[in-house]
Amino acid sequence: MLLAKIVGTVVATRKDPRLVSNKLLVVRPVDPRGKVEGNYLVAIDTVDAGVGETVLVVSGSSARMASGMKDVPVDAAIVGIIDAVEVSD
Amino acid sequence: MQLARVIGDVVATCKDENLTGMKLLVVQPLTADRQPAGRPLVAVDAVGAGVGEEVFFVRGKEASFPFYPAEPPVDAGIVGIVDRWDVG
- CATH number, domain with residue A44: 2.40.50.220
Gap from B84 CA to chain A (nearest CA, Å): 22
Q: What is the mean pLDDT of residues A45-60?
A: 97
3-state class of A17 per DSSP?
A: helix
Please say if the pLDDT value at position A87 is more than 80: yes
Q: Which of B63, B45, B47, B83 is nearest to B1 (CA)?
A: B63
Q: Does A54 touch chain B (CB under 8 A)?
A: no
Q: What is the structure's pLDDT at B63?
A: 97
CB B34 within 8 A of CB B85: no
Q: For chain B, 88 residues long, give each residue's pLDDT as a single digit of tens.
A: 999 999 999 999 999 999 999 999 999 999 999 999 999 999 999 999 999 999 999 999 999 999 999 999 999 999 999 999 998 7
Q: What is the structure's pLDDT at A24?
A: 97
Rounded-to-integer distance, Cα A13 and Cα A11, Å? 7
Gap from B54 CA to chain A (nearest CA, Å): 14
Residue A76: inside a domain, yes or no? yes
Residue A53: inside a domain, yes or no? yes
Residue A87: inside a domain, yes or no? no
Contact A47/B16, CB-based, under 8 Å? yes
Q: Does the reported pTM lie above 0.90?
A: yes
Q: Which CATH superfamily is domain B2-81 in?
A: EutN/Ccml (2.40.50.220)
Host domain of residue A69: 2-81
CB A78 within 8 A of CB A25: yes
pLDDT band at A88 (very low <50, low <70, confident <90, very high): confident
A-contacting residues in B 25-84 (Cβ below 8 Å)? 26, 39-44, 51-52, 60-61, 63-64, 71-76
Please say if the pLDDT value at position A89 is more than 90: no
Residue A89: inside a domain, yes or no? no
Contact A1/B7, CB-based, under 8 Å? no
Give CA separation, B6 vs A2, A88, B36, B49, in Å: 15, 9, 11, 8
Q: For residue A27, which residues of chain B lie inside 8 Å, CB to CB?
A: none
Number of domains in chain A: 1
A33, exposed or middle or buried, with CB in 10 Å at 0-12, 13-18, 19+?
Answer: exposed
Q: Does A87 touch chain B (CB under 8 A)?
A: yes
